[in-house]
Amino acid sequence: MLIKEVLTSVEVIQDPYIKAVTYAKIGERLARARERHYKEAFLRAMETAKDIEDPTKMFKALLSIGYSMTKAGIKASKRIYQGVLEDSKALPAPHRDVVMESAATYMLSLGEIGEAITYALEISNPKLRNEVLLAAMRANTKKLGKEGIKVAYHLRRSKLALEYIDSEPYRSMGMMELIKAYISLGSYENGISLISAIEDRDWARQAFKEVAFYLKEKEVLAQYIDTLEQVANSLIDRFGEGFVREMAFAFALSGEGLPAVELVRKLKNSGDVLAKLALELLERDHDVLPSLVAALDEDEAALVGKVVMNRVLERPELGSREVVEAIGRSTRNEEVWAKIARYYIIMGEVDGAARIASLLHERRLRSVVMADIAHHLLKRNEIERAIDAALEVRDSKFSSILVSEILLKALERELDGKVITWNDSRR
């Protein structure tokens, strides 16, 4: 009884578009619940739609009804769509484009990618057409990733859509979708080689990163690193030397330090670029910094180590044990080691700092570090250990100041509580 009441009550809706769509939605729900009144609901929907004066709105209403019918499992919906495709040809281009876009969108949400492409191709505005084709490609990649069946068929559809995309950046974005499709099917070589065909610089870089990360996640990056290096080189040939840094960063970010360093070495100012690269990684994702540092040679490591440690000492929160240890391993440069010791002292790890100090051969550096350690111990009131450390300081200027401070501190402790300060309010 209620169903009939609901159906008659739809009449009160004034807007014919909303009325028609509402009838269709009611029809869909009834059909799914196997209620016989669904036919009546759809009939009313169709009748109401035909009364809509604005033709664009009328076609959109018909599409919406068709969508509800498909969801309800009614085959007749195909006829409605066919009708809209033909009859809308009378509309001026911009209006028809809106209708065709809407048809394509409905088809995508029904998973009918091929149909969506058909409607997309009817769109006369190239930008809109390319956008819709791209959306179809994206939906297709997702389907492919999820279902993994009828692979060749799905791939063909993506290629077909891409063929019709005729301007940038849509073509480049479309290429990315095709690459993803190949990659998700495990066809890595095909996917990787397609990266070189991307015309747009930014998208080529993004595709490169995506692929590198995908392969890393699948734990096969090492096997394909040579192929990726070839691709990186071909992109650099095309986009110029400025692209070296970007490709190197992509490798470094995916944890592949060696190819990153090898790329940068081609540049004249490779040292500067490596230092900048390292600083950027330190700032952003220092988990991957150790792999870059490990790939450096002695000279590079000393330069990069200095720059990175200076930044870490300025902002210790950027540092981490992994980064600092990696730098320490990469170079025998004692200046860098002294900076590492300083970092350990800031972090309160005196033993770590002392271990490094014991390895230092250069007198001045050793004195600086030992003085630093002695200072820190004094602050922590560990006077005996401070004296031991101070004895290691050979540099007379440092040691004089230190001994003076140690003596005063020792005296203070002895006299603790007995010293009365002038102006002390407790006096």
Partner 1 sequence: MERLKTLIGPRKDKVEFITGLVTLLLSDRELYSDEVLFRDAVEEIYQTLRSEVLEKRRTGLADAYETAVLLRATISGKPLEPENLLREVGRKLREAG
**Which residues of the shown chain bind partner 1 in the complex (CB under 8 A)?**
138, 145, 168-169, 173, 176, 180, 200-203, 206, 209-210, 213-214, 217, 237-240, 253-254, 284-285, 287-288
- Tokens read off for 221: 């990056």
Minimum distance of partner 1 from residue 195's CB (angstroms): 15
> How far is the C-alpha of 242 from the C-alpha of 24, rounded, in Å?
57
> How far is the C-alpha of 413 from the C-alpha of 256, rounded, in Å?
54
Minimum distance of partner 1 from residue 300's CB (angstroms): 23
> Closer to partner 1 at the Cβ: 21 or 176?
176
Amino acid letter, 366: R
Determine the distance from the C-alpha atom of residue 298 to the mean position of all C-alpha atoms in its chain, rounded to a whole number.
32
Minimum distance of partner 1 from residue 206's CB (angstroms): 7
Which of 315, 375, 313 minimizes the C-alpha distance to 343?
A: 313
CA 2, 6, 8 angle in degrees (round to 5)? 115
- Tokens read off for 282: 């330190």
> Closer to partner 1 at the Cβ: 47 or 217?
217
> Closer to partner 1 at the Cβ: 236 or 386?
236
- Strands annotated E in 76-186: none
> Closer to partner 1 at the Cβ: 155 or 338?
155
| Phi-psi label, residue 13: left if phi above 0, alpha if psi -120 to 50, beta otherwise | beta
Minimum distance of partner 1 from residue 286's CB (angstroms): 11
Q: How far is CA 54 from CA 17, 215, 264, 417, in A?
A: 10, 52, 62, 95
Q: For residue 169, say if its preceding peptide bond is cis, omega within 30 degrees of 0.
A: yes
Minimum distance of partner 1 from residue 181's CB (angstroms): 12
> Closer to partner 1 at the Cβ: 135 or 377?
135
Minimum distance of partner 1 from residue 230's CB (angstroms): 18
Asked whether the CA dihedral 235, 238, 244, 246 is positive or negative, the reply is: negative
> Closer to partner 1 at the Cβ: 23 or 203?
203
Check: CB of residue 74 under 8 Å from CB of residue 31: yes
Number of alpha carbons in the 13 Å side-chain half-sphere of residue 174: 26
Minimum distance of partner 1 from residue 14's CB (angstroms): 36
> Closer to partner 1 at the Cβ: 315 or 364?
315
